[in-house]
Amino acid sequence: MAEQTTVPRVVTAILDKLASESDAVTAESLVGLHGSIAGHAMRPARHGGSELGADEFVSQICELASLDGSLGWLAAMFHAAAHQIATLPEAVVHAVWGSDPEAVATTAHRGSGGVGPDQRLAGRWESVVGAGYADWLVLPTENARRVLVPRAAARLEPRREGFAVAGACDVTIAGHVVDDSHAFAGDQRAAAIAMAGAAAAVTGSAEGVWRHHVEQMRARLATSYSGGELANAAPAQVARAASDIDAAKLQIIDALRRPDAEAADARAYWQAVARARAAADHILGNSRHALELTDPVTRLWRDVHTGCRLAAAVLDEAVGA
């Protein structure tokens, strides 16, 4: 019980929602990952951040997504927004985290808006992952700029978007006055972090497909009279999928380590997403998993494909920025 007091409130809200949806993820399975879910890795250290390197950042998002796709996507978008906020003037950073260290922000990638001559923001952004939990929103506007707005300034319309607890919402802003210090240009490093997070979320879900498939295969080998048949057919499929997933992870990490201009090139992230999806499809297409969400392999396979659609929006938006 003592540990519960250290859990960020956004993580508590997510866990409560997960518990109401399924028992696939428990609080115990997330020990050590609370800060990752809340986006702490991309915060400045002076505001409770851990400032992780590319390896740990990608690995943690993959680990969360292997449990549930929603968790990987929430972490990816919370981190992307946290990085963008960390680049703003200290007064703005303090306004977000100074009085509320547990505040979280998320970022949009679909839709657009504009700031008029009177400094008022108006627009609509679709399927913003994490908006239902966030305290702040980073929204793209015209001319490749971003605006930081408090959640209270937005009207949110919940959307399930294929994930159980991603907190996705359509966001509408009508006439919010934007302070100059809350409007800023997107940069290449921010684009790279958003793309890497999106690709890692898809790859992590694919890894979850692989893990559960291997667990079920081992159980069947231990109990089935057809063990010989399984033993002959399964290893090559499992090895191929594992190789593709590992290659996708390494590709994301390598891309994110590069200088900003190279790291913001979307091609490596597209390739990683394609590899991860192919691995998940190969497992499902060459196995006996039932096409129902009670099977964790099928549940995570669906997370892979939902994630691919979301990743396309992130990668396309980054390319157009």
Residue 97 counted as domain residue: no
- Same structural domain for residues 243 and 310? yes
Amino acid identity at 152? A
| In contact, 101 and 48? CB cutoff 8 Å | yes
Task: Give pLDDT tens digits for 202-221.
Answer: 999 999 999 988 888 777 77
In a 10 Å sphere around its CB, with 0-12 CB exposed, 13-18 middle and 19+ buried, how is residue 118 labelled?
exposed
Sheet harboring 111-115: ordered strands across? 111-115, 120-128, 169-177, 155-158
Residue 50 counted as domain residue: yes
Q: Which residues of the chain have pLDDT under 50?
A: 1-5, 229
Q: Is residue 62 located within the same domain as residue 118? A: no
Question: Is 52 contained in some domain?
Answer: yes
Q: What is the DSSP pairing of strand 155-158 with strand 111-115?
A: unpaired
Per-residue model confidence (pLDDT) at position 186: 83
The CATH number that applies at residue 219 is 1.20.140.10
Number of domains composing the chain: 3
Can you tell me the distance from the alpha carbon of 62 to that of 177, in angstroms, rounded to the nearest whole number?
A: 38
118 Cα distance to chain centroid: 35
Q: Are 282 and 236 in contact (CB under 8 A)?
A: no
Is residue 85 within 8 A of residue 187, CB to CB? The reply is no
CA–CA distance, 103 with 124 (Å, rounded to integer): 23
Give the relative orientation of helices 267-285 and 296-320 as an angle to the nearest 10 degrees. 160
Domain boundary among 168, 185, 202: 185
Per-residue pLDDT, 178: 95
Question: What's the distance, Cα to Cα, between the start and end of the chain in Å?
Answer: 46
Q: Do 49 and 43 touch, CB atoms closer than 8 A?
A: yes
Q: Is residue 19 part of a domain?
A: yes
Q: How far is CA 65 from the centre of its chain?
A: 8
| CATH code for position 156 | 2.40.110.10
Beta-carbon neighbour count of residue 224 at 10 Å?
12
Query: Same structural domain for residues 260 and 228?
Result: yes
Residue 132 belongs to domain spanning: 104-185
Q: Cβ neighbours of residue 259 under 8 Å, at least 6 residues apart?
A: none
- 93 in any annotated domain: no
Task: Report if residue 92 sits inside a domain.
Answer: no
Q: Are residues 257 and 198 in the same domain?
A: yes
The amino acid occupying position 172 is T
**Distance (Å, rounded) from C-alpha 241 to C-alpha 231?**
16
264 in any annotated domain: yes
- What is the tens place of the pLDDT at every residue in 139-160? 999 877 899 999 999 999 998 7
pTM: 0.91
Handedness of CA 43, 247, 244, 274 (dihedral sign): positive
Based on the fold, state whether residues 249 and 173 are members of the same structural domain.
Answer: no
